[in-house]
Amino acid sequence: MLPKFQFIKAFITFLLILCSLSSSIGHPFYLGITTIAHKKQEKTIQISISLFHDDLEQALNKYSSKKLHILSKIDKTALDLAITAYVQENLKVQLENKAAKMQYLGYQIDGEAAWIYFEIPQVSKIKNITVYNSLLTREFKEQGNIVHVESNGKKQSTRLTANKVTAFFSF
């Protein structure tokens, strides 16, 4: 049996492949998945975000003065800066009602998906976490963002939309 993260990644890849088959008519749906996992041993929170890379590129180009191509290795530094700024504007995490500083780790392209990674260091435990996630909701009104939060062996999930961009989780 696949570990949870690998299963989620395989499932998203399947969905993205399915969507790419109908690329001539665009996406049949707009979906992002954000996983926020507290790693007690490492005292960190690991954040992984999966978005359709073409949708992300379109959003980044609205915010950048330079035309960016997410599949290009040439623009890596500019892309890193643009992705960091875009995500930090559209994804915010509060721990115990205090803003948490997310550190950008990088991104990778896997099929139609852009995987973006952040980390919040020095987190011993989580009681309450508030997540603001408006990724791609300004660009695509149909965008939905599934948010999974994992802590102490428990997992909670919710779906956010352009009309509801904030969720509260308690452990």
The amino acid sitting at 9 is K
The answer to the question of residue 48 being in a domain is yes
The answer to the question of residue 57 being in a domain is yes
Q: Cβ of 68: how many Cβ atoms within 10 Å? A: 18
Q: Give the span between the Cα atoms of 114 and 110, in whole angstroms.
A: 6
The answer to the question of residue 20 being in a domain is no
Full strand arrangement of the beta sheet holding 91-95: 98-99, 91-95, 128-133, 166-170
- Tell me if 150 sits within 8 A of 35, measured CB to CB: yes
Express each pLDDT in 5-60 by its tens digit: 666 666 666 655 555 544 445 557 799 999 999 999 999 999 999 999 999 999 99
Q: Which of 21-25, 66-70, 96-100, 152-156 has the lowest mean pLDDT?
A: 21-25
Mean pLDDT of 131-140: 97
The answer to the question of residue 22 being in a domain is no
Q: Which domain holds residue 38?
A: 4-14+29-170
The answer to the question of residue 19 being in a domain is no
Domain total of the chain: 1
pLDDT-based confidence at 64, cuts 50/70/90? confident
The answer to the question of residue 21 being in a domain is no
Q: Of all helices (H) and strands (E), which one includes residue 165?
A: none
The answer to the question of residue 129 being in a domain is yes
The answer to the question of residue 136 being in a domain is yes
Percentage with pLDDT > 90 across the chain: 78
Instruction: Answer whether residue 145 shows pLDDT above 60.
Output: yes
